[in-house]
Amino acid sequence: MSELGPSPLVAGDLNLSVDAARAAIAAALRPVQEVETIPLMQALGRVLAADLASPIAVPAHDNSAMDGYAFDGAALQANAPAVFDCIGTAYAGAPWAGTVAAGQCLRIMTGAVMPAGCDTVVPQELSQATGNRITVQPGVLRAGENRRKRGEDLAVGQPALRAGRVLRPADLGLVASLGIASVTVRRRLRVALFSTGDELRAPGAPLDAGCIYDSNRASLMAALQRLGVEIIDLGLVRDDPAALQATLESAVTQADVVLTSGGVSVGEADHTRALLARMGEVAFWKVAMRPGRPFAFGPLHAAGRSSWLFALPGNPVAALVAYYVFARDGLLQLAGATPEPLPVLQARSTAALRKRPGRTEFQRGRVSPAPGGGWQVAITGAQGAGILRSMSEANALVVLGHDQGSVAAGEPVDVWLFDGLV
């Protein structure tokens, strides 16, 4: 279970800004402490638990950065060609055993160890070969060029990757290049997920009158899979205090995080407030945002254990937006990942957008190349909090800031690309 931080939460029922709510969450969370050592090939998406120091120099020896000819750069002349006798060939993985004397050069392949007596490589396309006689014209290169020096990428003992790194494909390749076959990572974060509501039915079940299919669990489970967490699916929960309490207690005993959708507004059937007041110190916030205004966050306690609750709105788009804005970064922080601000792209809006200052709005948009260069974004139809199709058709969220007003057609706006977010 994650360590619950000592930072007090912002009091509930305030009209918080998005930035204030995100800051309160970040201040409260502490990452899980347990670690495990796993095979490198299973480490994609895991969070590195400690700095990983290089056991070797990279590269391990001076080597050629080009296919060409290696020689002593002191032979280069400013106003006359340098001429060499080629005495052999050095291949990658097969170092040349001899020494290259003055007036001599060696045919060399990319990655081959630089032979003794050589510090410069002329690319083959910048030289002229007549039999074994190689000519290098003045001015085509400087002494020392095209040589990669031992340890210039990494010295022995230098950190190759820092703790908190979410391991990516190139990282695994880097670790493999150091001869390391296993890595120490933080254990996977455990997230319990369920949806609340008497009106919800599971896909595939008969749809009773007045009921709807539960889409939130499918969307949120897919979003969690992108983070590489361990998901505990607790299904659908009725709007019944006893059922909700039993599910929450089960979730707390199994998971570091409880992620719910629905039941955080002030409707008569939303029993969450009274229950959570008994189980923890959860704050209910009215965040100044659209969609996703009702949101609850805080610690829950049951059977001597504790978990963090992220209670998202019930409307499908609002649930996803609140997840991206609040829960995603919180989960990464709990998993031990070093915070990285999401990349923000500027794109010109293809149409006017109505917006009043005093809240942050997240509209669904489709980013595409703009005529004449740059990027443009078009809103994907109606923006109601329950219209999931417009979210499916989008490839970005248009972020209209707290103090921002309406946007004219052609004005730049900030966008979060889904490829960087989900």
- 384 pLDDT band (50/70/90 cuts)? confident
> Whole-angstrom Cα distance, residue 307 to residue 328?
16
Helix (H) or strand (E) holding 18: helix 18-28
Superfamily of segment(s) 63-148: Molybdopterin biosynthesis moea protein, domain 3. (2.170.190.11)
Check residue 275 and give its pLDDT.
Answer: 85
Output the pLDDT for position 421. Answer: 65
Please, how many CA atoms are within 13 Å of residue 362, restricted to the half-sphere of its CB?
A: 27
123 forms beta bridges with: 68
Terminal alpha carbon distance of the chain: 25
Superfamily (CATH) of domain 39-58+152-186:
Molybdopterin biosynthesis moea protein, domain 2 (3.90.105.10)
**pLDDT tens by residue, 4-37:** 544 457 666 567 999 999 999 999 999 999 999 9
Every domain of the chain and the residues it spans: 15-34+187-334, 39-58+152-186, 63-148, 345-421
Query: What pLDDT is recorded for position 399?
Result: 97
* Per-chain mean pLDDT for the chain: 92
Instruction: Kindly report, residue by residue over 385-415, the tens digit of the pLDDT.
Output: 888 899 999 999 999 999 999 999 999 999 9
Query: If we measure between CA atoms, which residue out of 127, 124, 103, 106 comes closest to residue 63?
Result: 106
Instruction: Give whole-number Cα distances, 122 to 40, 100, 130, 143, in Å.
Output: 38, 15, 15, 10
Is the domain spanning 15-34+187-334 CATH 3.40.980.10? The answer is yes
Residue 276: what pLDDT? Answer: 85
Q: What is the pTM of this model?
A: 0.86
Domain 345-421, what fold?
Beta-clip (2.40.340)
Distance CA 355, CA 287 (A): 16
